[in-house]
Amino acid sequence: MRRSGHLACMPMASRGPLSTEHRVPVPRPEHLIAMKVHAMKNDPSRTLREMADIQFLLSLPGIDEAEVRAYFEQSGLLERYRDIKRLG
């Protein structure tokens, strides 16, 4: 199966402990933002909710802002990114 779009980034997810015996993929905050941008594009009624979550995720240390901006740009939602930055 070919991976495309924002979910193609999941192979870069870190592996976190589920238990002492199992580890599961854990998305980076940037990956969560990508999924939220995708949700906003596909269902504009989610925009305010997703923007609030993205604003919080952007406040976490070590966020790759260029990567996040690119997700917004690729989705045609760069103005929403600017809104979040202006309000943040």
Q: Answer whether residue 85 shows pLDDT above 80.
A: yes
31: closest CA among 52, 51, 55, 6?
A: 6
Q: Answer whether residue 70 shows pLDDT above 90.
A: yes
Enumerate the H helices of 1-88 as residue ranges: 29-42, 47-58, 65-74, 78-87
Domain annotation covers residue 14: no
pLDDT at residue 54, rounded to an integer = 98
Domain annotation covers residue 68: yes
Domain annotation covers residue 65: yes
> Is the model's pTM score more than 0.85?
no
The boundaries of the domain holding residue 56 are 28-87
Q: Answer whether residue 12 shows pLDDT above 80.
A: no
Look at the chain and report how many structural domains it folds into: 1
Q: Model confidence over 29-66: pLDDT tens digits?
A: 999 999 999 999 999 999 999 999 999 999 999 999 99
* Planar angle of CA 68, 71, 73, nearest 5 degrees: 110
Q: Answer whether residue 2 shows pLDDT above 50.
A: no
